[in-house]
Amino acid sequence: MNGLDWISKWSNYLPHKIAVVELDTQTEYSYRAMHRYSFAVTQILKSKYREGDRIAVLAEQSALMIALFSACQRLGIILVPINYRLSAKEIFELLKDCEPSLIIFNENFKDKLTFAKDYFNCISKTNFVDHVYNIDVPDDFISFNFTIKEDLPIFLFYTSGTTQKPKGVLYTNKMLFWNSLNTTMQLELTSHDKTINILPPYHTSGWNVFVTPLLHNGGTIELLKKFEASDVLSALEKTKSTVFICLPTVLQMIAKDPDFEKTNLSSLRYIVTGGEFITQQAIEFWWKEKNILIRPGYGLTEAGPSITSLHQDMIFEKPNSIGKANFYVEIDIKDSNGQSVGDYETGELCIKGPIVTSGYWNNSVATKNQLREGWFYTRDLAYRDSEGYYFLKGRMDEMYISGGENIFPQEIEQLINQYPHVEKTIVLPVNHDVWGSVGAAFIKTTQDLKQTDIENYLKDKLAKYKFPKHYIFITDFPATSIGKISRKELYKLFNKQNNNEQSHLL
């Protein structure tokens, strides 16, 4: 399928259009330069590796990563971006699982390969780039066309493993195309769009929210290796970025930067956010302070990730909604027997379409559990209103039963978040000798609050049995490697304060 070689296509249509910018080094690559870069990488790889081989990369997002992506597409090789924030042992376990033929690593992550270097072929990013620049690329490279097989995997993404061992998600070229089409249509992307990417390459969002869709559309991707609020604000203003994605926690950090008020962000059409619930207060703040609307959405490593999106014009009409299904996605809400439920009834969110993974790497049991009769069972609880808008109720493994009653943490969180001086709330189930499970509310505040303040506020808004049993007031939330709130660390905090080693993710 030649239409998937997007860098090659744009190098022919608009060869001098800027495709990629490394902001840390102020290095620009036109589409022609990126095609030349990826052509050279293709020449290096094709002599040693074959279709189906895996190439693991332990490095930040960069022009080299994008050239590798293009070369792997052309050769049918699977690119495996590894989470460089994991420990050396955790990384070794992932590498043993995918058995890469080559590992390319950035020098600052060399110590992360302590266990792996004796088992796998490793090369530093610097040495690999040196090889690339020594390749003799013919003058007519721009005319070369490569056939890309749509059913072959291009990525192997490992899930975060919050509650269990990480699973390798196969991401095919077919998924890539349909996700890009969904994203383009829902977010109205064109070749005039540009973004600052701060998301890491080991997460699907670091590739498939804006990077690959903008390559498809001939847009511009500006890369920052690390997140610093002041650097992001400066870059958004200087580059006149039109679209941007980040997690809600990152939005909060940006808003608290000393330069926030004076930074001109008028070129942004909207900001996309997902991965966590965003409060209505945060949405209203960005609209009031910067005249910028937020677009919440819903996605998964296993599908898309462009599954639903709430149009910015509906953000105040449908508070707390994740929006409607994207164009080429089917969504259903099913009960425990796999039967569809009606509007406003809570069930498991299920997805069907060409954006769904073909399965998990080396894990047929997990594949069978979550892929049934063409539907991907997400393990997320949700309901749909009468107008087709979807609302999340939380993860099935986050819902807990207290005294025989089903409790949905997100319902409690949304109410507490509305209390003055509360910035963010996370409610987790913890063990209880009498009730089985009770809630522990972790509340980030801007001033001192007491448990009685929250309970008095909730008493006419929430059934008594849903009240959290424990309240932990904190100044900030611990974060995972991609900026999501770390529930593991919150459980550690709870256990430390309560001397209870039995409370954990249920």
What residues does each domain of the chain span?
1-220, 227-397, 400-498
The average pLDDT across 317-321 equals 92
The span from the CA of 131 to the CA of 141, in Å, is: 18
The span from the CA of 166 to the CA of 173, in Å, is: 22
For Cα atoms 19, 21, 23, give the angle at the middle one, nearest 5 degrees: 165
Cβ neighbours for 129, distance < 8 A, ≥ 6 positions apart: 64
Domains 1-220 and 400-498 fall in the same CATH topology: no
Between these two residues, 449 and 165, which has the higher pLDDT value? 449
Residue type, 86: L
pLDDT of residue 2: 64
The average pLDDT across 288-308 equals 94
Lowest mean pLDDT among 275-279, 387-391, 440-444: 275-279
Question: What digits encode the pLDDT tens for the residues 206-263?
Answer: 999 999 999 999 999 999 998 899 999 999 999 999 999 998 888 988 999 999 999 9
CB-count exposure of residue 50 (10 Å: 0-12, 13-18, 19+): exposed
pLDDT of residue 393: 85
Question: What digits encode the pLDDT tens for the residues 143-180?
Answer: 777 889 999 999 999 987 544 678 999 999 999 999 99
Q: Which of 82, 74, 84, 91 is nearest to 108 (CA)?
A: 84
pLDDT band at residue 1 under the 50/70/90 scheme: low
> Which top CATH class is 227-397?
alpha beta
Q: For tokens 């008020």, name the residue.
A: 261
Q: Which of 55, 8, 43, 48 is nearest to 153 (CA)?
A: 55
Q: Which of 273, 56, 50, 308 is nearest to 157 (CA)?
A: 56
pLDDT of residue 161: 55
**CATH for 400-498?**
3.30.300.30
pLDDT of residue 480: 76
pLDDT of residue 163: 47
Whole-number average pLDDT of the chain = 91
pLDDT of residue 504: 44
**CATH for 1-220?**
3.40.50.12780
Q: Is the pLDDT of residue 420 over 80?
A: yes
Sheet-wide strand order for 470-474: 422-432, 436-445, 470-474
Distances (CA, A) of 184 to 151, 194, 243, 450: 21, 13, 12, 46
The span from the CA of 343 to the CA of 341, in Å, is: 7
- What's the pTM? 0.83
pLDDT of residue 482: 65
Q: Is the pLDDT of residue 186 over 60?
A: yes
The span from the CA of 326 to the CA of 19, in Å, is: 26
The span from the CA of 310 to the CA of 389, in Å, is: 8
- Helix, strand, coil shares of the chain, percent, nearest 5, are 35, 25, 40
Cβ neighbours for 453, distance < 8 A, ≥ 6 positions apart: 419
Region label for 340, one of left (φ > 0), alpha (ψ between -120 and 50) or beta (otherwise): beta
